[in-house]
Amino acid sequence: MPEAELKNIALLIDADNTSPRGIDPVLTVMAELGQVNIKRAYGNFAKNNLANWDKITHQYGIRPQQQFDLTAGKNATDMAMTIDAIDLLYQGKVDGFGIMSSDSDFTPLVTRLRQDGLVVYGFGSTKKTPAAFKSACTRFIDIDALIKEAEAPLENDGEKPGMTTADANSDIDDDLVALLATAVKASKRDQNGFASLSEVGKIAGNRSSFDVRNYGFKRLSDLFYSIDQFEVENRDGNGLYVKRVR
């Protein structure tokens, strides 16, 4: 469910709270929005645990923003990222942002950026990221799922194996089913109760930071096919339609 293509995108990376293994799949997702012309990673790169960022920054054209730990317990990285994001906002040259972090401290920043109508994609660990940060983003995407997909071995036909229905269903809970059901109900439905899948996807996305990739699927239709509470109908020439059956 890509947003309308934008011209100039900024990707700001909290290197203290994310893995360099996620850079390639994150940039692939960010390409949905437009050209990622600004790529910056923030952290104290003198630390041993950030040593792996060295080659990554050169490989992907990421500008490292060194932040020394001047005071114990204070996070200069968060402050620097926030200041740069607000500077970019007021310069008026950025149409959208990607924020790579699992830190809830960025929730007010994301909220402020979205108040000006900017699209903000969040990338972090679903298990570590607080709900407030996820909900504030236009889309929040589980970086662990992206890494798992990117590092999956190729099949003989060159395609990566997708998550099986059994594996995917383990991540599908009542809250997700309720969200999808509400989106179907809010959509325009025909006499048989079917709603356009594209309209359902837009409504679900507008109601939360929902993204199908967090559940191991590349397409919204695959997610619906995997849930037996919904029926998907393929109407040749008119796209896919979905309704709740129980």
Rounded to a whole number of angstroms, the distance between the first and last alpha carbons of the chain is 25
Q: Does residue 23 surpass a pLDDT of 80?
A: yes
- Helix crossing, 76-91 with 107-115: angle to 10°? 0
CB atoms within 10 A of CB 41: 27
Domain with CATH 3.30.420.610 in the chain: 165-244
| Average pLDDT, integer, range 107-130 | 93
Q: What is the pLDDT of residue 73?
A: 47
Amino acid identity of residue 238, one-letter, is N
Work out the pLDDT band at 116, boundaries 50, 70, 90. Answer: very high
Check whether domain 165-244 has CATH 3.30.420.610, yes or no? yes
Work out the pLDDT band at 111, boundaries 50, 70, 90. Answer: very high
Q: How far apart (Å, rounded) are the C-alpha atoms in residues 201 and 207? A: 10
pLDDT tens digit string along 189-228?
999 999 999 888 877 776 656 778 878 787 888 899 989 8
Q: What is the pLDDT of residue 5?
A: 57
Token pair 């293994």 is at which residue?
A: 21
DSSP H helical segments within the chain, as ranges? 23-30, 53-59, 76-91, 107-115, 131-136, 143-150, 165-169, 174-186, 197-207, 220-226
pLDDT tens digit string along 3-18?
555 678 999 999 988 8
Residue among 211, 79, 83, 188 at smallest CA distance from 140 = 211
Q: What is the pLDDT of residue 207?
A: 62
Domain with CATH 3.40.50.1010 in the chain: 6-150
Name the fold adopted by 6-150: Rossmann fold (3.40.50)
Q: Does residue 88 surpass a pLDDT of 90?
A: yes
Q: Are strands 230-235 and 239-244 parallel, antiparallel or unpaired?
A: antiparallel
> What is the three-class DSSP state of 163?
coil
pLDDT tens digit string along 38-86?
999 998 888 888 888 887 888 888 999 988 766 554 577 888 999 999 9
- The answer to whether 48 and 15 have CB atoms below 8 angstroms apart is no
Q: What is the pLDDT of residue 120?
A: 94
- The answer to whether 209 and 122 have CB atoms below 8 angstroms apart is yes
pLDDT tens digit string along 133-190?
998 999 899 998 888 877 766 555 555 444 444 344 446 778 888 889 888 888 899 9
- The answer to whether 9 and 38 have CB atoms below 8 angstroms apart is yes
